[in-house]
Amino acid sequence: MSFITRVIMLSFAAILIENIVFTYAIGTSTMFLAARSKKQFVSFGLCITYFSVVSSMLAYFANKYLRDYDSVYLITPIIYVLIVGAVYTLTLLVLWKLANKAFMALKKYIHVSAFNCAVLGSVFINVERGGTLIDFAAYGLGTGIGFLLATYLMSIVYEKLYSEDIPESLRGMPATLLYIGILSMAFYGLVGHQTIL
């Protein structure tokens, strides 16, 4: 399999087949927050994509170095949280020093996006899957784009889920959970499952 084909396949798998929101139910609270405004969800999605890619690439090097130690499973979660925190801090410092206007515009998205379950989840899934540095980056890219897709699918019906046309007992969060459940089953249909027999 060629290099480009592998990158496309891993990204496609993370976007549709193993969507971080619909398959793993990770990052749903941020998705609800971002879906409220059609202007915000793109900024949230791009920030999460950035943090997923960079954190996954750094986790690759950390995992490569740490896997030879005994009892590494005790400290790896802390290491991955520290990696995400370091990427967050460096991103804020670079934006503040080099692009102050962009810093002011993106500040509210960066805080929520960096410390999001989707970012940390993509790091853990990448480490569990293994692979090369490019595999980690491609899956991180696909995770962020998959989050953006999930947020878009939520934002296009967000107002309708709170509409007066829906019975009061289902309006709002119950209708939202039903909608997400139906989408999750549709995404699960893409994956399929293997029977035990």
Q: Determine the Cα–Cα distance for residues 52 and 73; give it in Å rounded to an integer.
A: 21
Q: Residues 143-186: pLDDT tens digits?
A: 999 999 999 999 999 889 888 988 999 898 899 999 999 988 88
Place of tokens 């994956």: 191
**Integer Rg of the chain from CA:** 18
Range 163-169, long-range pairs (CB < 8 A, 24+ positions): none
- Would you write out the chain's pLDDT as a tens digit for each of its 197 residues? 788 898 888 888 888 888 888 888 888 888 888 888 877 888 888 999 999 999 999 999 999 888 877 777 888 899 999 999 999 999 999 988 888 888 888 888 888 888 888 999 999 999 988 889 999 999 999 999 999 999 999 999 988 988 898 899 989 889 999 999 998 888 888 776 654 43
DSSP letter at 12?
H
Q: Model pTM greater than 0.85?
A: yes
pLDDT of residue 197: 39
* DSSP annotation string for 39-57: THHHHHHHHHHHHHHHHHH
Range 65-73, long-range pairs (CB < 8 A, 24+ positions): none
Work out the burial of residue 84: count CB atoms within 10 Å of its CB; fewer than 13 is exposed, 13-18 middle, 19 or more buried: buried
User: How many CA atoms, within 13 angstroms, populate the side-chain half-sphere of residue 186?
Assistant: 10
What 3-state class would DSSP assign to 14? Answer: helix
How far the first Cα of the chain sits from its last, in Å, is: 31
- Contact, 132 vs 63, CB < 8 A? no
User: Structure tokens of 165?
Assistant: 């046309």
Residues in the chain: 197
DSSP letter at 69?
S
User: Structure tokens of 178?
Assistant: 């039903």
pLDDT of residue 113: 86
Q: Residues 54-64: pLDDT tens digits?
A: 999 999 999 98
